[in-house]
Structure 1
Amino acid sequence: MISARNGWSPRSIPRSFPRRSSGWRTAAAVGAGALPALAFPAPALWWFAYVALVPWMMLLRSAPTRRRAALEGWSGGAGFIVAVHHWLLPSLHVFLVLIAVLLGVLWIPWALLVREFLGGRPTAGRAAAGLVLVPAGWLLSELVRSWQGLGGPWGLLGASQWQVPPALRLASVGGVWLVSLLVVAVNCAVVLLVAVPGARIPAVVGLAGFAVLTGAVWMWAPRPEVSGRLRVAVVQPGLIPDGPDSAERRFAAGERLTRTLVGQRPDLVVWGESSVGADLTARPDLARRLAALSAQVGAPLLVNVDARGAVRPGIYKSSVLVGPEGPTGPVYDKMRLVPFGEYVPARSLLGWATSVGRAAGEDRMRGRAPVIMHLPGGVRVGPLVCFESAFPDMSRRLTLDGASLLVAQSSTSTFQHSWAPAQHASLAALRAAEDGRPMVHATLTGVSVVHGPSGERIGPALPTSASTAHVYEVPPATGTTLYVRFGDWAVYAAVAALAAYCAARIALTLRRRPAPEPSPRPARTARG
């Protein structure tokens, strides 16, 4: 606790306020927490991310009590989750609100840090500490909710900067985590500039420091080494109406579009997630049709099988490379499944979600290990399936295993007219920049897109209205980015800073605790 002599004390904040104000503040926290969603696609107001947290933080810094700050952090976190995942409402209905309320708890520590370091009239030293610890607190909430069992890393604040070249360079150094830290730190500096006249010097120094850091990264961070060109064709059949024969019609559409590539000399043809609706072992006719297509086009086909296995039990989503002789090389089975979409966590307790929305009626099976596929000519491909492109560690693992091209096979047809397809496609830019590898994001119904090894977009994005096949000139890359080499160091640094702060607070509390008074000695009695 800072004393009044240093310019601020919690006692200087009113301890109570009218109850009507309490309700208004809670509603304002929910709305303020939802604002950062505008920085992500489809609105894609990337610049807004640098001030999107300011209204929420201004509310938190004025909270009269720690309890009130915790409530407003919780409420704002719930608003953020609903806003970033609002397109799930038709599928999950009220269950999305329940999830948001549960995950909103993760923002309570961050809210308390905002009040502690940015509230009242903080000294210059305390404001400077806030520029470090408040972003670290935000990153802690992102880290915890990025666990696959809690939904995974969808809507990380740093991911809103997918089209900003300097931010992508930062991602090559510290991953999307470092970008999140920078975005929150800039929001902190804006709060200090606007609301705390005495803390403007550390705010300006902080902003200058962020600019210098970004410039240094731009100049000196290692860049990927590009070698040659690979012609990659993306086949996007478009929306196929649901029906008993929809899988067959989807396969036929993929065949038809792939034949248009004859004469264009692709090196690889990529189909989207669930592009094949039957196990190729059980349906050798489909395997023969794919092999014939490969021979016609003169390139292997990377398809995705979503079906119950003929030999192994359960339903898998599998990336399969098919050449002129049929399926070849190792098969990759999707490892990280979409909660409720592909499995229901703790189904015995939460199975009722299937009755109120479109949750998975049967759990998909999980793969066990990542796979590297080899193309003719020595190019190594690292496949991912849909949701897995949101996880920085998965594409990093493939890069460490030798992949020179990353491919994500996806389908967001359930959310065709929402923000989901564009937001999902934008993640390819982050993964490409982090790992210094080009990434192909191929979908059934759009948005399909290709990004180069620095995160830059290559060729046109195929919108959700397109049914087409397009060939992209993709530069395979080698070399190692700092993120691939050192991993999630930005996360560890943030956790270490928070741990040091907590240790200092505990030590200070123990030092200030008064020593217990010695107990009086019992009086001696005379002996007779």
Structure 2
Amino acid sequence: MVPIRAGWFPRWRAPAAVAAGALPALAFPAPALWWFAYAALVPWMLLLRSAPTGRRAVLEGWLGGAGFIVAVHHWLLPSLHVFLVPLAALLGLLWIPWALLVRELLGGKPAAGRAAAALVLVPAGWLLSEVVRSWQGLGGPWGLLGASQWQVPPALRLASVGGVWLLSLLVVAVNSALVLLIAAPRARIPAVAGVTGCAVLIGVVWLWVPGPQTSDRLRVAVVQPGVVPDGPDSVEQRFAAGERLTRGLAGQPVDLVVWGESSVGGDLTARPDLAGRLAALSAQVGAPLLVNVDARGADGPGIRKSAVLVGPNGLTGDRYDKMRLVPFGEYVPARALLGWATSVGKAAGEDRVAGDAPVVMDLPARPDGLPGVRLGPLVCFESAFPDMSRHLARDGAVLLVAQSATSSFQDSWAPGQHASLAALRAAETGRPMVHATLTGVSAVHGPSGERIGPALPTSASTARVYEVPLAGGTTPYVRHGDWPVAAALAALAAYCAVEGLRSLRRPAPEPSGPPARTARGSAARRAR
């Protein structure tokens, strides 16, 4: 065996932390190794628990968090270029409290009580970082660890109880138990109990929490025009492609036609020619069209992205303006300070104007007796926010529709990651969700989060009709909201309070005086 030289291993801990933090990205699309999420944090956590000092844990928690952000958002590099690195460094700071918890609770040889506490507090610490970075100004809730479970039916049922937050807690708890099994033999009993408890929780929810009860079905057509070459006529070419594909739906039973984000390049109140063409399409197909306008409004300054419903008689008056804009993509935060980002990447040259409130739209009743259906529109980035779809469900939306465009990231992991979010939002709310894009991936998910029909890949240019099951009732998540977040914060607050009381009750160390002079030392001094 070759001896490890002193100081050799610490020099490799920093790059190892970055690499270990990046590993969980493999659980998301495109790799979509959902099962890997339950062990993906183990290398990073083993590194943190062995940190020789708290300062070292802080550094490795920060570096691992930055590595995670870069890995999950690497497809932003063509747009942000080097700006992604300082952004990841900023967001990586959010994992420092979690890193200290891992070192404190999982380090050394934890007793059974401390190990049991770790199975609660370490997941809570991870969730704290996810909640903070879910703020729109910090990039929003993209890459939440629980979202990696979008294709697992038992996990989706769990999401209907506590949202994506409960899934994140579950995944980190299993990772924590694996760390105890590997590195802390004295704590194997609570570790096994923790894994068993997670399995029992999933089983109980699967057996006792009822799934959505479907009744009627809505025939929804998704129009995906595909890639249109950039140029002065690209907006009109995209509109014409959507028009052509929609016209091909004539003669099929359709209740709603959905176009992707930025599918219309002119304000419809100022462009009666475009509004007339859409109305004629609606009459020809026999269904209203939900299009998306990306244009400067005639009634005010600024560019808005708006979901607009058009019927055979023209504009219905239903319009929703996108509320949560993409940082740097649609506006530059603190533009006076960070406006230079437009010179090194594809940051927004002009800030879009945000909408004021969510909107629920009404579809007309069907001739066969199906009553009018209420739909809740979201635009692109907004499908990542659990609270927005929950709000629409509480307001009476029976169908959720997200209009998106990821054309700038066509050959990356972004389209698949974005489309997968529809499964989470559907499962959380018990409402089916249609994710319609310009260039793919377009997908439809039922009220349990299950996929309805095949998704439209990024290579497709087509229109497809989906039989979307509708469901009533209210999921526990819609009824009770983000209770896992509140529970995690309460657990962390209780832990901080207990540790604070212990530090107050701990007796202060006795002051150490100067060393006593020995007789031999005194004699030696006298001799000198």
Alignment TM-score, normalising by the size of structure 1: 0.94
Pairs within 5 Å for 1:72-151: 72-151=60-139
Could you tell me how far apart the structure 1 residues matched to 2:343 and 2:6 are? 42
Cα distance in structure 2, aligned partners of 1:212 and 1:86: 36
> Does 2:214 align with 1:214?
no
Measured in 2, the distance between the counterparts of 1:169 and 1:258 equals 35
Mapped to 2, the partners of 1:476 and 1:342 lie a distance apart of 33
Q: Where does residue 165 of structure 2 map in the other structure?
A: 177
Residue 462 of structure 1 corresponds to which residue in structure 2?
A: 456
Aligned-residue offset at 1:22: 2.7
- 2:141 alignment partner in structure 1: 153
Matches within 5 A, 1:45-444: 45-377=33-365, 378-444=372-438
Distance 2:6 2:436 in 1: 54
Instruction: Please state how far the C-alpha of 1:467 moved relative to its aligned partner.
Output: 0.1
User: What letter corresponds to residue 300 of structure 2 in structure 1?
Assistant: R
Structure 1: gaps spanning 5 or more residues:
1-16, 518-528
Paired letter, 2:85: V
Moved more, 33-42 or 216-225: 216-225
SS at the partner of 1:305? strand
Q: Give, in angstroms, the shift of residue 515 of structure 1.
A: 10
Q: Secondary structure at the match of 1:335?
A: coil
Task: Say what the alpha-carbon RMSD is for the aligned residues.
Answer: 1.2
The Cα offsets for residues 106-157 of structure 1, whole Å up to 9 and x where unpaired, read as 0000001101111110001100100000000000000000000000000000
Q: What displacement does 1:350 show? A: 0.2
Deviation at 1:196, TM superposition (A): 1.0
Deviation, structure 1 residue 18: 4.5
Q: What are the Cα deviations for residues 210-245 of structure 1, in whole angstroms up to 9, with x where unaligned?
A: 111101100111322322010000000000011111
Q: Is the 8 A contact 1:122 1:199 kept in 2?
A: yes
TM-score in terms of structure 2 length: 0.94
Q: 2:441 is aligned with what amino acid?
A: V
CA contact (8 A) 1:233 1:471 kept: yes
Distance 2:57 2:262 in 1: 45
Q: 1:449 aligns with which of 440, 443, 464?
A: 443
Distance 1:515 1:236 in 2: 71
CA distance in 2 between counterparts of 1:288 and 1:218 reads: 49
Alpha-carbon distance in structure 2 between the residues aligned to 1:459 and 1:442? 14
Query: How far off is 1:201 after superposition?
Result: 0.5
Q: In 2, distance between residues paired with 1:140 and 1:420?
A: 25
Deviations 1:176-198 (A, max 9, x none): 00000000000001111111111
Q: 1:158 to 1:287 in 2, by over 3 A?
A: same
Q: What amino acid does structure 1 have at the position aligned with 2:410? A: Q
Distance in 1 (CA, whole Å) between partners of 2:269 and 2:318 is 14
Q: Secondary structure at the match of 2:421?
A: helix
Determine the C-alpha separation between the residues in 1 that align with 2:12 and 2:211.
50
Contact 1:39 1:47 in 2 (8 A): yes
Q: In 2, are the aligned partners of 1:321 and 1:331 still within 8 Å (CA)?
A: yes
Aligned residues: 501
Give me the identity figure in percent: 80
4+ runs deviating over 3 angstroms: 17-20, 513-517
Counterpart CA distance in 2 for 1:289 and 1:232 is 20
- CA separation in 2, counterparts of 1:497 and 1:254? 51
Match of 2:502 among 482, 503, 508: 508
Q: Distance in 2 between matches of 1:439 and 1:284?
A: 31
**Separation in structure 1 between the aligned mates of residue 241 and residue 184 of structure 2, nearest angstrom:** 61
Aligned: 1:488 with 2:499: no
Deviations 1:486-515 (A, max 9, x none): 000000000000000000000110111449
**Are the aligned partners of 1:329 and 1:373 in contact in 2 as well (CA < 8 Å)?**
no
Give the direction of change, closer, same or farther, for the CA distance of 1:250–1:220 in structure 2 (3 Å limit). same
Letter in 2 for 1:330: D
Aligned position for 2:517: none
